[in-house]
Amino acid sequence: MEKLLTLEIDKRQVRVREGMTVLEAAREADIEIPTLCYHEKLKPYGVCRICSVEVEKEGHVRIVASCGYPVGEGLIIRTHSPRIDRIRKGIIELMAPAVMIDGDVAGEIKKLAEEYGADVHRFESRYRVTPSRCILCGICVRYCDEVAGAHAIGFVGRGIDRRVVFFPEEARACITCGACAELCPVSKIAAETDFVVFDGFTVDDWLTRKS
């Protein structure tokens, strides 16, 4: 028998199974929390921080990533508050320059920017590298790793130089399933399965270079 826990999300009492995350619990109760790096088939990664919520436990409030925070008896969750909205606005503004195309952002990020009143141009003039068009959510990398089992792509570099590439030794392991392209929230990866590109290289490039 699974243990059920009671917690409060946005002033609503919800009963959920132990072992769920706050994000899953909220979604089950039809409470929307925005996410950019979450995918139901993948382990929580917690890097976009857009899903940050306030958790109150024994009177102590902290900000957590709801995608990874486990539910607990008596927790009080606030998915919206001035503090949370300010954080989400800030995160969108900080990530926007990297995904700017023709002077605007697109897709989910545009939607979020409008919802939180984020000025996507706020840091544009100070963003002095070529926009990578990638928010490093890692969905492609993790899907290739955890679901496709190909381990063909990964992160390289550290800090502000982090990026996604084909692993030179593993590129030929790409099964051209196209999932990475399909799941990419900013459509950096072109949708055609035979045109998967990371860091300027396609699988074909690697194969030609190697032969």
Residues 118-157, mask of contacts with other proteins (x by CB under 8 A) = -----x--xxx------xx-x----------------x-x
- C-alpha dihedral over 84, 86, 89, 95, to 10 degrees? -90
What is d(CA 46, CA 35) in angstroms, rounded to the nearest whole number?
A: 9
**Shortest reach from residue 91's CB to other proteins, in Å:** 5
C-alpha distances (whole Å) from 75 to each of 5, 32, 49, 70, 78 are: 9, 18, 20, 10, 10
Q: Which residues have a Cβ under 8 Å from the Cβ of 150 and sit 6 or more positions away?
A: 144, 170, 173, 174, 175, 177
Residues 33-52, mask of contacts with other proteins (x by CB under 8 A) = -----------xxxxxx--x
Q: Does position 74 bind other proteins by CB under 8 A? A: no
Exactly one of 7, 64, 77, 152 binds other proteins (CB under 8 A); that residue is 64
Exactly one of 7, 33, 75, 98 binds other proteins (CB under 8 A); that residue is 98
Exactly one of 25, 31, 42, 69 binds other proteins (CB under 8 A); that residue is 69
Residue type, 25: A
| For other proteins, the closer CB: 62 or 210 | 62
Q: Which residues have a Cβ under 8 Å from the Cβ of 9 and sit 6 or more positions away?
A: 22, 25, 26, 29, 31, 77, 79
- Binding footprint of other proteins on the chain (CB under 8 A): 44-49, 52, 63-65, 68-70, 83, 86-87, 90-91, 94-95, 98, 123, 126-128, 135-136, 138, 155, 157-162
